[in-house]
Amino acid sequence: MGLASANTSSEGMQLCVFDLRRGQLEGQELDKILFFFPADLPFSTQLSVIGLSEGLITFTRIFSPEAACEVIEAERHSHVFYEAEPDIWMVMVVEKSKGLEVIWRIDALREVLKEVHSLFMMFNGSIRAMLEREPSGGVIRSHLYPFIMDYMSDFLVGKKLQLPSFRDCLTERGTVQMLTVGREAAIEVQSLVRVLESCAGTTPCHSLIFFQDLLVSTTVSPDDTINLFTYAVLRLTPRALSSGASSWSYLRKGSTASHVAAGSTLAQSASVSEHLYRSHDNSPGRDDSYHVKRPLQHDKWAKGKDGFLVTDIWGAEIGSSVTVSPTIWLRQTEERVYLCAYQYKGLTLILLIPVSSILNGEQGVSLVKQQVLENASLKMLKVEEKLSKGWGGENAYHVSGYRYLLVDDDRNISRASPPVKVTTLTKESLLAMNKLREEVDLEKSRAKRNGVDQEKDLEICIRAKNNAWVIAHTTRGKELYMVLEKANETLLYASDAVEKFSNRYCGGTFSLD
């Protein structure tokens, strides 16, 4: 049953969400559990894991009240903590193995927890707000279980969960990958943005424009941009919609064939989770008719005849076969907006319209879509044409001789060698880079705990066992990670290679001058 049938042992990974404010009285301990994977573990085992986590949080708060526990390294397991909301904790427990292929980078695992929580909030609002509206916890559990299980389906390769490991050390979750455009294309894009946002009349609205799996333009906050970028790449872009199409984005895992199997397996697991949960949740506040949205399910979006993407995830209007338009919550403004997505060839447009400004519901949304088709079609065609001409393909950002990751923390943007190129690196190089990134993560965390506003510059060059150069350089909120396998033996050669890369692709940010 559940994920046991998917050969994902409960000892390999456990994931839980719990509320420290609940279940404090004897006999009510189960109330604190909001989500637990694997769901078919005995409740005594679930409470044991959560009890240990709660004890570690309480203990570490004695020494660090403002920044509680982030990670505990035990002999056989790593415990990764993330306080998603005040007193709402997410904890991932991963089993250590003697094999090299399960060496994790803790910050990468924590980014997984952050990402699933951010996406959940975008579609449902905060966990605490849902608990306050329905204190029994029935509604929040019925939403969390299928949502997290659907999210985890992207980490299934075959029948095994594949969490971010050392093989993903040249990627950065929680960032956006941008498309570099020329001046003429940029002017056309800005013109299209103005037309799109005028289609709702005087209503203030926002937009995002994507080309393939890359962001071209956004008018929402950085946090909302990251969430929408993540969701678009996972479920909305042409590659996400095309069955049988592989993707070079780090957000998509495994082959399409494994995705199909994963969707089937985790759908069963989600139903087992809910069955187990329902059998132990007899609270009077429970509403079984409450519609649970599952926006991360696979194969739930399709391109309509008019070019707009359609889905039945949000259900249908009462007494009608008309599907309800998707809505999300914007984090910065805390407003609920309609999500209207349109696609033309490699171009994907997302228009966000405040729900409060559309008085007649679906009819009003249809009118806005009609305005987009009438006023913006020609401009969309021109933008797609210009971007296609300047597009270098999946390997557009490959730099011969280099395997790199460039991160701009201030703008939440990253650029990296194409995954297909990173796979050519040896295991020794990837392990060395993973270890180096762990050191940089620790240094950044130490600076944060000490209240240092400006992180100090770092430049580290390591000669790996296979004689590759593994390099990390951080300065003024920007980070560069690089592997040079076919390099000269001297440190001077490695430094010169970084200098050349910095001058040509980073505006001299990482140059010594």
Please report, for the chain, how many H helices and E strands are present, in that order.
12, 19
d(CA 214, CA 223): 16
SS3 state at 264:
helix
Q: 3-state SS of the chain: helix, strand, coil percent to 5?
A: 40, 20, 35
On whether the CB atoms of residues 109 and 164 are closer than 8 A, the answer is yes
Q: List strand residue ranges (DSSP E) for 107-233, in order.
A: 156-157, 160-161, 206-211, 214-218
User: Cα 370 from chain centroid?
Assistant: 32
pLDDT of residue 278: 47
384-389-392 Cα angle (round to 5): 110
Rounded to the nearest 5°, which phi and psi values hold at 273?
Answer: -55, -50
DSSP conformation class of 179: P
Question: Rg (Cα) of the chain, in Å, rounded?
Answer: 24
CB-based contacts of 321: which residues, under 8 Å, 6+ apart?
A: none
Candidates 146, 332, 334, 317; CA nearest to 226 is: 332
pLDDT of residue 63: 86
Which ranges of the chain have pLDDT less than 70? 1-11, 98-102, 243-290, 318-321, 451-455, 512-513
The tokens describing 444, both together, are: 């950044």
SS3 state at 99:
coil
Candidates 317, 341, 338, 318; CA nearest to 329 is: 338
CB-based contacts of 318: which residues, under 8 Å, 6+ apart?
A: none
Residue with tokens 């762990």: 438
